[in-house]
Structure 1
Amino acid sequence: MRPVKAILLALPVIAVLGGCAGQGEIDATGGITAVRSACPVVGVPAGTGDVTIFAPESSQDASAIDVVASMTNVRGTCTDTTDPIAATVTFEVRASRTRTDAARDVVLPYFITMVRGGSNVVAKRVGRVTVHFDAGQARATTTGQATGYVTRAAATLPEDVRKQITAKRKAGDEDAATDPLTRPEVRQAVLRASFEALVGFQLTDAQLRYNATR
């Protein structure tokens, strides 16, 4: 799953290199201060941020649309001082319905999944959020929350890789113009230590196909 609605957050960061220089600042002894976060990046996987319910379920005609809901205002908070590291994702669900004659509760399943290295799903939890419509009300909004966990060891770069990334480089040195991330072993280590916390609606196969083709 690759997020197309990637919502990058100002999550706490852990400095890879000590000292007083800030992110992206040029260090007085050469090189650029590097930072990376142990917290997962938060996003919504492609095709899972919206759900359409039909009545009857076997139809996908526009005239059969019953309820439409979208996930929005996705936000994340991260506690990176604990082990495991906890990433809590909050979101809003905005829904509309066709028939408004009576009060109604619509229960929508959603998921949070922890993805390592861009493609490896290491954990998934499914929850439910209820949208309440009063009689005569066509639109309603509610909020949801989900939490995912990452072990500190899994989100931490090996010491030898950290040293390669943060090594001081001076003009004229043989490796001064070489980006450490061009080395396959370094790039793979960074990828293995990178996580995403992805949330979306838990859709049926038919709902996924509808989102992909509408």
Structure 2
Amino acid sequence: MFKLKAAAAALTILLVAGCSSDGQLTATGITITRSACPAVAIPAATGDVTLFNPESSRDASAIDVVANITNIRTTCDESGEHIVSNVTFDIQALRRDTRGDREVVLPYFATVVQAGSNVVSKSLSRVSLRFADGQARASATGSATGRVLASAAALPEDIRRQITRQRKPGDADAAIDPMADPNVRAAVQNASFELLIGFQLTEDQLRYNATR
């Protein structure tokens, strides 16, 4: 489980850096670019995980392993029927007790979300972190793929024309943001997707991350 509202709030739907432009709006020197590629984000409270020993304790002295997701890298292919986003990221971990070799396996999710709240797909994977004897740190690489129908991410033609129509200084609507129109805003939101990645946490782990 994770909080979609927090993830959506962290994303700028219109100004998304992506693979190619769906259209441009030029008005008094301002250019807006929209990509059909899903924005990539980590939902609130799922970017790190803390393991305890004993598991029931939440004392700082009982912290066993701490891991976090970092260095996210994304590629996107819009050439086919589906828009395919491939994401790789690093997982860095730190353990308290450095005695002996140890392997820690952590689950993580990749979820495609439409319009900020509609879950299109979700996959679960695992990553293995291997600590060498005497070493406090370990790292590994995770990956995820999100697929979106290109037709679902495309704006309706009338909306696209409204957004990309060039305005000239002096036009009555030259300084009006097209997104101020509720119909335009709703269409852009419905055609916007996010690829969310994070650790697959238990309710206790989510609660700890949210309240610490």
Q: Shorter-chain TM-score: which interval?
A: 0.7 to 0.9
Q: After TM superposition, give the deviation of residue 173 of structure 1 in Å.
A: 3.9
Residues 12/198 of structure 1: CA separation in 2 closer, same or farther (3 Å cut): same
CA distance in 1, matches of 2:20, 2:157: 17
Query: Following TM superposition, by how much is the alpha carbon of 1:86 offset from its aligned partner in structure 2, in angstroms?
Result: 0.7
Deviations 1:137-179 (A, max 9, x none): 1111111101011110111000111111122434444433432
After superposition, the Cα gap between the structure-2 partners of 1:131 and 1:6, relative to the gap in structure 1 and judged at 3 Å, is farther
- 1:69 aligned partner: 67
Q: Choose between structure 1 and 2: higher helix proportion.
A: 2
Q: Which residue is equivalent to 1:102?
A: 100
- Distance in 1 (alpha carbons) for counterparts of 2:16 and 2:180: 26
1:197 aligned partner, one-letter code: L
Conserved? CA contact 1:15–1:34, under 8 Å: no
CA RMSD between the two structures: 2.3
Q: Percent identity at matched positions?
A: 56
Out of 73-82 and 1-10, give the one that drifted further.
Answer: 1-10
The alignment partner of 1:186 has SS state of: helix
Deviations 1:6-28 (A, max 9, x none): 699853122425xxxxxx766xx
| Aligned counterparts of 1:5 and 1:140: Cα–Cα separation in 2 | 29
Matches of 2:157 and 2:87, distance apart in 1: 30
| Structure 1 Cα separation of the partners of residues 16 and 104 of structure 2 | 30
Match of residue 13 from structure 1: 20
Aligned-partner Cα distance in 1 for 2:93–2:42: 17
- The secondary structure found in structure 2 opposite 1:69 is strand
Q: Following superposition of structure 1 onto structure 2, how do residues 76-91 of structure 1 map, counting pairs within 5 Å?
A: 76-91=74-89
Give the 3-state SS of the residue equivalent to 2:161 in structure 1: helix
Aligned length, in residue pairs: 205
Matched, 1:40 2:38: yes
5+ long unaligned stretches in structure 2:
none
**TM-score with structure 1 length normalisation?**
0.87
Within 1, Cα distance between the matches of 2:32 and 2:136? Answer: 50
Aligned to 1:50: 48
Larger-Rg structure? 1
Unaligned runs of 5+ residues in structure 1 are 18-23
Q: CA 1:32/1:116 → structure 2, altered by over 3 Å: closer, same or farther?
A: same
Task: Pick one of 119, 137, 140 that aligns with 2:138.
Answer: 140
> 1:9 & 1:154 partners in 2: Cα distance?
17
* 2:153 match: secondary structure: coil
Correspondence 1:197 to 2:195: yes
Contact 2:17 2:35 in 1 (8 A): no
TM-score (norm 2): 0.88
Amino acid at match of 1:85: I
